[in-house]
Chain A
Amino acid sequence: MLEIRNLHARIAEDGTEIIKGLDLTVNAGEVAAIMGPNGSGKSTLSYILAGREDYEVTQGDILYNGESVLEMDPAERASAGMFLAFQYPMEIPGVATMQFLKVAMNEQRKARGQDELTTPDFIKRVREAAATLNIDMEMLKRPVNVGFSGGEKKRSEILQMKLLEPKLCVLDETDSGLDIDALKIVADGVNALRGPDRAIVVITHYQRLLQYIVPDTVHILSRGQIVKTGDKELAAQLEAQGYAGVIEQAA
């Protein structure tokens, strides 16, 4: 489903290379975990997948279902089924969350040639999804992420993911900032989305999340490259030895 080939990317503004020849394949039905030290380029990779303009791909390619997405803007990628749950979701004053959700759902439907949702249908879907994530509807009357607590922001990201039903989900440190109960709720939400035609990429620092969302593959990202790939045992090994040990072995 996702194939990243020898990807090189730099910060558009100053030319600093962050991703330095990264290869990664994630198949449909797979849950892949990406782990790596602070500053190794995990969030940068997720932004590049989503199409953020601040980064420039200088070499290599990103294939989604066999086709390059490099020429697609973020909205086109999202409508094609790619989704990024942000490590730091942005606050957008003045745009009501409900309105944002409705516009996003309908724009994606429009792009896929589906009818717009009726208001009652829309509200029903939001209500149901919010209930499973323990999200208060009152919160959704506020502007997007404005004044949400850290955990509320993360849950709101998963709410959006549930409503938009993407095919490729990238979760960037969704576990950080969540309390233990919320972590379980969010993990259940993600697990519910697991399926043969969907791939999930979980970026995390901690084994804990991976006990709830058990990955099929684990990849270690260091200095802009995937330096080691394994199964869930690799995550356990990391927990025991730390990055330094594991990365040294790989080098």
Chain B
Amino acid sequence: MNLQAQAPLTGAETALIDLFAQRCNDLPGNAGAVSARDKAVAALKANRLPTRKVEAWHYTDLRRLLSSVPAWRADAPAKPVDPILPGARRFALVNGALAETPAVDGLQFDAMADSLRADVGGVTLEAPAEADDAVGAINTAFVSDGLRLSVADDAEIAAPVEIQSVHAGGQVHTRSQVTVGAGARALFVDRHTGTDDAVLASNVTELTVRKGADVTWIIVQEQGAQASHLASLGLTLEEDARATVFIANLSGRLVRQEVHAAATGERAELAFRAVNMIGGDAHCDVTLELDHLVPHTTSTETVRNVVTARGQGVFQGQIRVAQPAQKTDAQMACNTLLLSDHGGFSTKPELEIFADDVVCAHGATVAEIDHDHLFYLMARGVSEKTARGLLIKAFVAEIVEELKDEALVDALEARIDAWLEAHG
């Protein structure tokens, strides 16, 4: 008997189910998509939103934390904003609809909505296979549009590409698919930005990095303080592929960013970095699942968190090394600067290793600002606020500066400075 399924629906669950009834006829998709959406909502009804009893959600009790669901807003006024990088090409999703698509050499695109309607390019919407995939279920049910992008083999996309989801609150559900062709190089900024109005945003992105390609994927999540953001990035790394995934969580009330990555080709390399700036009443969860499936693949995972006020953070990092994946090298570290007695951070590293000749390690620390450092800076006339800011910034800047690209480092540091100004 499933006790949880018998619990009465929460307000948020009821609102989601009602919203689906109201919206389902307007959502894009052929018969297959309709049935996938129905299944996703049925699963949501049957399983409810996950609670801490569901292992993958142990530190993020979605059922409790998603306390309300804003109404869908047809006419919310939103406009694309300047990209974070100078000279970037901007693809804009406005209130969940693809609204701006520049022509870029070496890039081909389709609207996800068109693909869902017409089965273009074999895109089929499928209800999530796993019962604990709440992000996938909500996104499948409500996805309205998104971007399908492919980078041609051997293309060097010189200008950064920003995929910008901008909204004015309400319901925003997008799904994207990006394939970087063999030997190609590109830098993407996957940006989620909005107003201070309440929003339930979900995003599912599938990123495939083909043989020998090199991609930098920067997620900038900077929605308002009332935003609930549920996102999932799927990442496949083929032979000799290299990816840097950098997540900057800079705002939001409830954030769950999942990354499901697999190194499927030999010598694939992943650098996974996350900076979580968690203040106010925010709850921010980054959950990584990484499979090393073949020999000679490498990954490093570094997560830096700053927690102030009543902020709560979570990092779950699961690395699985399959039996054939000999010579895997995986190094994971999660460091937190906890600046408030009322905040907290939970780290759950997991290494599941089935191969015997591997180098894998993980470590986690939680610290306060070093009082001696603070004293030294203040003894030179630096005010306490500025001194704390310098020390916090030093803590996160270390991994930002690894990105090397100067414009990118500047853009991210400017955002971190703004956060410190507001929360320091």
Contact B379 A74 (CB under 8 A): yes
- Kindly state the interface size class of chain A when it binds its partner: 20 to 34
Contact A51 B379 (CB under 8 A): yes
Contact B375 A95 (CB under 8 A): no
A49 to chain B, nearest CB (A): 10
Residues in A with CB closer than 8 Å to B398 are 94
Residue from A75, A89, A100 in contact with B390 in the complex, judged by beta carbons closer than 8 Å: A100
Residues in B with CB closer than 8 Å to A74 are 375, 378-379
Contact A52 B381 (CB under 8 A): no
Residues in A with CB closer than 8 Å to B197 are none
A142 to B233, CA, bound (A): 37
Q: Considering only CB atoms, which chain B residue lies closest to A163 in the complex?
A: B380
Residues in B with CB closer than 8 Å to A54 are 371
A100 to B378, CA, bound (A): 11
* Known A75-B381, A94-B398: A103·B386 in contact at CB below 8 Å: yes
Residues in A with CB closer than 8 Å to B419 are none
Residues in A with CB closer than 8 Å to B383 are 75, 107, 111
A170 to chain B, nearest CB (A): 10
CB within 8 Å of B: which A53-99 residues:
53-54, 73-75, 77-79, 83-84, 86, 89-90, 92-95, 99
A160 to B387, CA, bound (A): 16
A78 to B394, CA, bound (A): 23
A26 at the interface (CB under 8 A from B): no
CB within 8 Å of A: which B364-385 residues:
371-373, 375-384
B interface: dominant SS: helix
B391 at the interface (CB under 8 A from A): yes
- Kindly state the interface size class of chain B when it binds its partner: 20 to 34
A171 at the interface (CB under 8 A from B): no
B395 at the interface (CB under 8 A from A): yes
Contact B380 A90 (CB under 8 A): no
Contact A73 B382 (CB under 8 A): no
Residues in A with CB closer than 8 Å to B271 are none
A164 at the interface (CB under 8 A from B): yes
Residues in B with CB closer than 8 Å to A52 are 375, 379
Residues in A with CB closer than 8 Å to B371 are 53-54
Residues in B with CB closer than 8 Å to A144 are 376
A104 to B380, CA, bound (A): 6
Residues in A with CB closer than 8 Å to B373 are 90, 92
A160 to B379, CA, bound (A): 11
B397 at the interface (CB under 8 A from A): yes
A19 at the interface (CB under 8 A from B): no
Contact A160 B380 (CB under 8 A): yes
* Known A75-B381, A84-B379, A160-B380: A90·B394 in contact at CB below 8 Å: no
Residue from B379, B382, B395 in contact with A50 in the complex, judged by beta carbons closer than 8 Å: B379
Residue from A53, A79, A86 in contact with B381 in the complex, judged by beta carbons closer than 8 Å: A79
Q: Considering only CB atoms, which chain A residue lies closest to B392 in the complex?
A: A94
A222 at the interface (CB under 8 A from B): no
Contact B372 A90 (CB under 8 A): yes
A231 to chain B, nearest CB (A): 30
Contact B376 A111 (CB under 8 A): no
Contact B381 A164 (CB under 8 A): yes
Residues in A with CB closer than 8 Å to B387 are 75
B382 to chain A, nearest CB (A): 5
Interface string of A107-130 (1 = CB under 8 A from B): 110010000000000000000000
A231 to B373, CA, bound (A): 37
B368 to chain A, nearest CB (A): 14
Residue from A92, A99, A103, A107 in contact with B376 in the complex, judged by beta carbons closer than 8 Å: A92
A108 to B387, CA, bound (A): 13
Q: Considering only CB atoms, which chain B residue lies closest to A75 in the complex?
A: B378
A74 to B377, CA, bound (A): 9
B306 to chain A, nearest CB (A): 13
B400 to chain A, nearest CB (A): 11
Residues in B with CB closer than 8 Å to A90 are 372-373, 376
Residues in A with CB closer than 8 Å to B386 are 103, 107
* Known A73-B384, A75-B387, A103-B386: A93·B379 in contact at CB below 8 Å: no
Q: Considering only CB atoms, which chain B residue lies closest to A47 in the complex?
A: B375
Contact A86 B376 (CB under 8 A): yes
A103 to B381, CA, bound (A): 9
CB within 8 Å of A: which B389-419 residues:
390-391, 393-395, 397-398
A-B contact pairs, 12 of them (CB 8 A): A50-B375, A51-B379, A74-B375, A75-B378, A75-B383, A75-B384, A78-B378, A92-B376, A103-B390, A104-B377, A107-B382, A111-B383
Q: Which residues of B contact A (CB under 8 A)?
A: 371-373, 375-384, 386-387, 390-391, 393-395, 397-398
The 10 A-B residue pairs with the shortest CB-CB distance, nearest first, are: A94-B394, A78-B381, A74-B378, A108-B381, A104-B380, A75-B378, A90-B376, A79-B381, A74-B379, A95-B394
